[in-house]
Amino acid sequence: MNDQIILAVDDNGKFSGEYIPRIAGHTGVGRRHKAITVLVFNLTGQVLLQRRKHRVFDNIWCFSADTHPYHLENRDESLEEAAKRSLKEDFNIADISVKNLGTYNYFAKDGNNCENENCAMMIGEYNGEVNLNPEAGYEYKWVSKNDFLKDFENNHPKWAPWVPGGVKILKKMGFFSE
């Protein structure tokens, strides 16, 4: 976590001009930084969910993949590049187009760690095989959009703290009515 450099942003998601170590964004009250969450869906109306393995909010259900755009040696990774990297690392998913539906802010504590993010809610369709990286997650499942929404609404504590903001955007964009 210490060697990854992320982008500090304001509450509107605008880059502040400062790059910070990933750990600085996730300890104490953290620093607001850019993040992404990706929800993969398929032609049958199912979504891919992951019970994540992570230092912050470990062993909790979330969307398909989550990460941050990184500051690379000579440029900043785009939201799309970060989303695709995360899907490749977590599920070996390649050749996917992703779309940003919007952003939201959230803050949540997990012991001495936290999330303090301006998060982009991204989606992409994928109909191939998935292979969960055991370093990334404990398990995954494909469920119908409506079963996911019902479970989320009835079992808030089992879902990551960034899921409510993502669900709000997904609802607003009509994702569950498709």
* 110, 56 Cβ separation under 8 angstroms: yes
pLDDT at 2: 54
The CATH superfamily label for domain 5-177 reads: Nucleoside Triphosphate Pyrophosphohydrolase (3.90.79.10)
pLDDT at 122: 98
- pLDDT 10s per residue in the chain (178 long)? 457 999 999 999 999 999 999 999 999 999 999 999 999 999 999 999 999 998 888 999 999 999 999 999 899 999 999 999 999 999 999 989 999 999 999 999 998 999 999 999 999 999 999 999 999 999 999 999 999 999 999 998 899 999 999 999 999 999 998 6
Q: Is 76 helix (H, G, I), strand (E, B) or coil?
A: strand
Cα–Cα dist 176/178, whole Å: 6
Long-range contacts of 80-85 (CB under 8 A, 24+ apart): 80/122, 82/36, 83/36, 83/38, 83/122, 83/124
Angle between helix axes 163-172 and 145-154 (nearest 10 degrees) is 130
Distance of alpha carbon 24 from the chain centroid: 18
Cα–Cα dist 30/62, whole Å: 21
Q: Which of 61, 63, 101 is nearest to 80 (CA)?
A: 101
pLDDT at 34: 98
